[in-house]
Amino acid sequence: MMHSPLPIIIDCDPGHDDAIALLLAVASPRVELLGVTTCFGNCAVEDGTRNALRILTLAGETSVPVAQGASGPLMGATALGNYVHGTSGLDGPDIPEPAFLASELPAVQLIKSLIERSHESVTLVVTGPMTNAAELFRDHPEVMGNVREVIFMGGSTSGGNHTPSAEFNTYADPEALQQVIDSGIPLRMVGLNLTHQALATPDVVEQMRAMNHPLGQICAEWMGFFGSSYESVWSFESPPVHDPCTVAALVDPTVIQWQSSFLAVELEGKWSRGETIVDLHNRYSFAANAQIAVTLDRSAYWNLVLGSIDQLGQKTR
């Protein structure tokens, strides 16, 4: 049976792994990319918007609306991830400048109008801090009726990367994540416990490099830059390609195994601000309020991601 494509909006902070998530969404007939919005995070939001436009230009997808969102969190200081993704937020190979402009609308307005216009309920994929989604549900709660779910990369069942206990996206705006949790929207979390199973090992990068089109070379070089950051900051031998796990779960629901759990994020802790609390063993006896990604089928994931990049690269060469 043919399924109609799932309408999605990607709210991101591109970013090397966000870039791969966008390529996967553009390539896959299983999802229909309605729009792309940006948030501060891996870099300043203006750089993230430029990167989103450059990535979509590279993917030959210049008709998807792109809109810029939050330049900082709901509360507190702005954390940026340039120490991982470089000055531009997408350092490494030279890629073309954008062939189209961002929308004049702010991100929240674009997301709202795309949700309102969609005949089918929309999946919001968040691969950066949760600020835009929190503002959307706070200011326009009426759109929630046409949102199927929020699936986000962030947090972890244990341990962090930006701090010893907190993952970067949840550290960058914990209040926003807690507000989205409290909104009651169906929520799926893809945290570090899952994405650290999605390492771009040398054989993966070699397969990108062996593709006979520029997109494959660019992806390999992106992995090279991202990989050297992961090596110098965290002593990882290969970089975890976090963000595409969200899109992969939508394209092929068998790629990730999930577990229901109570989810919260630490807002107060002296050391642990931004840490996600994932009660997989139901120690608090609270009702589950999220699905937590627990196991990745690594070979299915890379087959999907590499196959999609290759297909797109053949089409755009």
DSSP 87: T
Structure tokens at 94: 């030279």
Distance in angstroms (rounded) separating the CA atoms of residues 145 and 301: 31
What 3-state DSSP class applies to 64?
coil
Amino acid at the residue 236? F
Of the candidate residues 37, 68, 123, 127, the single one contacting ligand BDR (CB under 6 A): 127
Of the candidate residues 42, 68, 178, 308, the single one contacting ligand BDR (CB under 6 A): 42
Report 82-111 residues binding ligand BDR (CB under 6 A). 84
Please choose which of ligand BDR, Ca ion, none residue 171 contacts, taking the beta carbon within 5 to 8 angstroms, the exact cut-off set by kind: none
Q: Could you list the beta-strand ranges (E) of 31-127.
A: 31-38, 66-68, 122-126
Q: Establish if 81 lies at the interface with ligand BDR (CB under 6 A).
A: yes
- Judged by beta carbon, residue 15 or residue 240, the one nearer Ca ion is 15
Distance in angstroms (rounded) separating the CA atoms of residues 85 and 226: 7
- Minimum CB separation of residue 171 from ligand BDR in Å reads 9
Q: Establish if 169 lies at the interface with ligand BDR (CB under 6 A).
A: yes
- Contact stretch for ligand BDR (CB under 6 A) within 12-20, 25-33, 266-274, 292-300: 12-20
Of the candidate residues 168, 225, 262, 302, the single one contacting ligand BDR (CB under 6 A): 168
Of the candidate residues 10, 189, 242, 245, the single one contacting ligand BDR (CB under 6 A): 242
What residue has token string 């991601």? 305
Distance in angstroms (rounded) separating the CA atoms of residues 206 and 203: 5
Q: Establish if 50 lies at the interface with ligand BDR (CB under 6 A).
A: no
Report 174-233 residues binding ligand BDR (CB under 6 A). none
Q: Establish if 61 lies at the interface with ligand BDR (CB under 6 A).
A: no
- Minimum CB separation of residue 119 from ligand BDR in Å reads 30
- Judged by beta carbon, residue 143 or residue 168, the one nearer ligand BDR is 168
**Cis peptide, bond prior to residue 48, ω within 30 of zero:** no
Structure tokens at 180: 């989205």
- Judged by beta carbon, residue 18 or residue 275, the one nearer Ca ion is 18
- Judged by beta carbon, residue 15 or residue 98, the one nearer ligand BDR is 15
Please choose which of Ca ion, ligand BDR, none residue 81 contacts, taking the beta carbon within 5 to 8 angstroms, the exact cut-off set by kind: ligand BDR
Length of the chain, in residues: 317
Distance in angstroms (rounded) separating the CA atoms of residues 86 and 69: 21
316 neighbors 213 (Cβ within 8 angstroms): yes
Q: Among this protein's residues, is 196 annotated catalytic?
A: no
Pairing state between β 256-261 and 263-265:
unpaired
Task: Show which residues are catalytic.
Answer: 242
